[in-house]
Structure 1
């Protein structure tokens, strides 16, 4: 098949029209993953004078339904009771799930951590760190750690 000058001009014009149309209707793809600032949340007793358990978590919201976090639990009293901490994740459905539980049963001044954890259920409204002492019967916990709302929710 022999291409004529008119056929080539027509093909080039068609390509030009298609390029212009694609520029109008296409949307740029995001170049970076959206992330919120990291939050440092703590609960419990860092001095060992009251509860005897201390927990902190570093949490980053990466989307409306995703978090990345690291958490530790520390025994601040050394009274032979194991301590534990976890991240309470509040969900849009009106309930919560406790994630990343770490238990320190090594005694006063020791710390146990879990690093680089991820959780992705569905819409997360916020998070809070919690610290507890494993007492005989019901455990003693600090449920009043800082609450951080999901900036994507």
Structure 2
């Protein structure tokens, strides 16, 4: 994204995502942005439970980016030691610590790496989220922030 003469980079929490025209949001692979509705569209069909994902600013010097609350509201994780930004869901990570799914009330997949929109199920055979016959890309979680 370009701000004046300076180009900055942002990270989308969804792997192989599509960047939206506003430079502040993104959608999962194989979908398009509907900025007016704040949703992601799959082949002109509204995908239930999906929404555009807010980009997280990239950290410099190779540091991993961590989610930051936009509104100051946090979602505490059940370990009592970490939290996620408002609109995210706490999920257990492979290490046993917590990570943040960039979807509200998400389904945490059993692989402890991915998550799906509310009302869908994780389909590890397809590497996607499923609702009936509809398949959509699943989201990749990001590390949770320690409570201070």
User: TM > 0.5 between the two?
Assistant: no
Q: Which one has the largest radius of gyration?
A: 1
Bigger share in strand: 1
Q: TM-score, normalised by structure 1?
A: 0.27
Bigger share in helix: 1
Q: TM-score, normalised by structure 2?
A: 0.27
**Higher relative contact order structure (alpha carbons within 8 Å, sequence separation ≥ 6):** 1
